[in-house]
């Protein structure tokens, strides 16, 4: 309420052409509030689903995947809360940075949060892709070497690396700058002083692109291995349904990250390596707004691409309806074997596929 009041009073005190400017401010504030609210609700719902699945799961490989997935959703949720609150605070202060932030403390915190909550989802997505690739291609090594405490240490190192990149400009006395729109802080893109001001945004972009490339390579390899195993029918009873579920979620995360973050990372590299002869505020702000949708779309990957939802889509698919009974029994066979493997994996190994009558009697 105070933010709306201050905005209105500030608009009344300006000259006549400021009506459009005030409407743009109100529109930006409304968009920020809606984005923040949708992001918090979406991530909270996805976190509830993941935590519920993590508590009841008995498969070690999927427990590791759910640990990273829950950490990714928590990171996105905190990103919406912290960055959204900072944006609303800036707008409520009429973007007068000289008044409320004379020592540039808020700007430094804002910039570090932008970098940290930007790189962390990319790093976590690549780590999840590598972990799943090892779990599918080298299952014995994954089960014997990559134990739970190692996964938690890897998670901590991932956050630590993102935090180190975020705090590096402050440590090197290259603080974050208020951008031309005066609504956010980032690397000094328009007027760098020396090569260090060019290197820092390049480091940010190159690490982000490297994480995306690693995700693409690992997810492609994992998908090819699973597809090859399906085609060769090597797994008659050993359930691979949870592998399929996880790879669909990883592909969804990868696609969302590439679409949302790819333009920003490439744009930052272009701005850092070319001459600064024109304003870049509008184009940079546009790709940043695209990147914020990553934190909104990420949780819906886990909400929509779950086993239960995929099963319903599979049954409603018109192309699958003609062979519904055959495909349904194959799906149920995979689900049943997965549950048997959770309870007693030794009973499932080496057993032939269950007949349709047995499945009907169980379901």
Longest CA span, the chain = 81
Q: So what's the pLDDT on residue 71?
A: 92
Both tokens assigned to 337: 């074997």
Res. 49 pLDDT band, cuts 50 70 90:
confident
Closest CA to 77 of 122, 43, 48: 43
Q: So what's the pLDDT on residue 225?
A: 87
Question: pLDDT tens, 168-191?
Answer: 999 999 889 998 888 899 998 877
Distance CA 214, CA 259 (A): 16
The CA-atom distances, in angstroms, between 119 and each of 23, 129, 246, 297 are 33, 15, 22, 16
Own/partner long-range contacts of 207-210 (Cβ < 8 Å, ≥24 apart): 207/119, 207/122, 207/123, 207/165, 208/118, 208/119, 208/122, 208/261, 208/265, 209/262, 209/265, 209/266
Q: Is the pLDDT of residue 222 over 50?
A: yes
Q: What is the CATH number of the domain that holds 134?
A: 1.20.1070.10
Distance CA 232, CA 285 (A): 49
Domain-located, residue 353: no
Domain-located, residue 5: no
Question: pLDDT tens, 77-120?
Answer: 999 999 999 999 999 898 999 999 999 999 999 999 999 999 99
Compute and round to an integer the Cα radius of gyration of the chain: 24
- State the angle between helix axes of 60-92 and 241-273 in degrees (0 to 180), rounded to the nearest 10: 40
Distance CA 207, CA 229 (A): 33
Closest CA to 227 of 213, 248, 212, 211: 248
Does the global pTM surpass 0.95? no
| Helix (H/G/I), strand (E/B), else coil: 58 | coil
Closest CA to 175 of 164, 185, 160: 185
Give the domain range for residue 73. 27-232+241-315
Domain-located, residue 92: yes
- State the angle between helix axes of 60-92 and 18-56 in degrees (0 to 180), rounded to the nearest 10: 160
Question: pLDDT tens, 317-362?
Answer: 665 555 544 544 554 555 445 444 444 444 444 444 444 444 344 4
Q: Is the pLDDT of residue 74 over 90?
A: yes
Domain-located, residue 204: yes
> What is the number of domains present in the chain?
1
Domain-located, residue 196: yes
Both tokens assigned to 314: 């599979």
Closest CA to 97 of 113, 116, 110, 83: 110
Res. 57 pLDDT band, cuts 50 70 90:
low
Q: So what's the pLDDT on residue 280?
A: 62
Question: pLDDT tens, 224-248?
Answer: 888 887 777 654 444 456 667 778 8
Say if strands 185-186 and 177-178 run parallel, antiparallel, or are unpaired.
antiparallel
Domain-located, residue 8: no
Q: So what's the pLDDT on residue 13?
A: 41
Domain-located, residue 217: yes
Domain-located, residue 102: yes
């Amino acid at each position: 309420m105070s933010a709306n009041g201050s905005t209105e009073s500030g608009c009344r005190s300006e000259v006549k052409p400021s009506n459009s400017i005030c409407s743009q401010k109100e529109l930006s504030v409304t968009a920020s509030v809606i984005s923040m609210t949708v992001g918090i609700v979406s991530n909270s719902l996805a976190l509830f689903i993941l935590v519920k699945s993590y508590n009841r799961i008995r498969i070690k490989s999927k427990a590791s995947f759910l640990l990273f997935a829950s950490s990714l959703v928590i990171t996105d949720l905190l990103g919406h809360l912290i960055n959204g609150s900072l944006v609303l605070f800036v707008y409520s202060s009429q973007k007068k940075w000289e008044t409320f932030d004379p020592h540039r403390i808020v700007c430094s915190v804002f910039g570090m949060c932008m970098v940290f909550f930007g790189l962390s989802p990319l790093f976590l997505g690549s780590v999840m892709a590598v972990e799943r690739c090892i779990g599918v291609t080298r299952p014995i090594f994954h089960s014997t070497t990559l134990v739970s405490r190692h996964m938690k240490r890897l998670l901590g190192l991932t956050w630590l690396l993102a935090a180190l990149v975020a705090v590096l400009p402050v440590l090197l006395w290259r603080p974050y700058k208020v951008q031309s729109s005066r609504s956010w802080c980032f690397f000094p893109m328009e007027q760098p002083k020396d090569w260090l001001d060019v290197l820092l945004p390049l480091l940010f972009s190159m690490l982000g692109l490297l994480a995306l490339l690693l995700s693409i390579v690992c997810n492609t390899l994992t998908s090819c291995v699973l597809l090859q195993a399906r085609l060769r029918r090597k797994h008659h009873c050993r359930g691979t349904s949870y592998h399929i579920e996880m790879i669909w979620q990883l592909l969804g995360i990868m696609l969302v990250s590439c679409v949302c973050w790819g333009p920003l990372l490439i744009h930052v590299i272009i701005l850092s390596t070319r001459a600064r002869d024109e304003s870049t505020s509008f184009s940079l702000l546009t790709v940043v707004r695209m990147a914020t949708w990553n934190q909104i779309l990420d949780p819906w990957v886990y909400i929509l691409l779950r086993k239960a939802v995929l099963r319903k889509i599979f049954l409603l698919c018109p192309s699958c309806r003609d062979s519904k009974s055959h495909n349904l029994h194959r799906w149920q066979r995979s689900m049943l074997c997965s549950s048997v493997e959770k309870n007693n994996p030794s009973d499932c190994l080496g057993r032939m596929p269950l007949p349709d009558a047995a499945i009907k009697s169980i379901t």
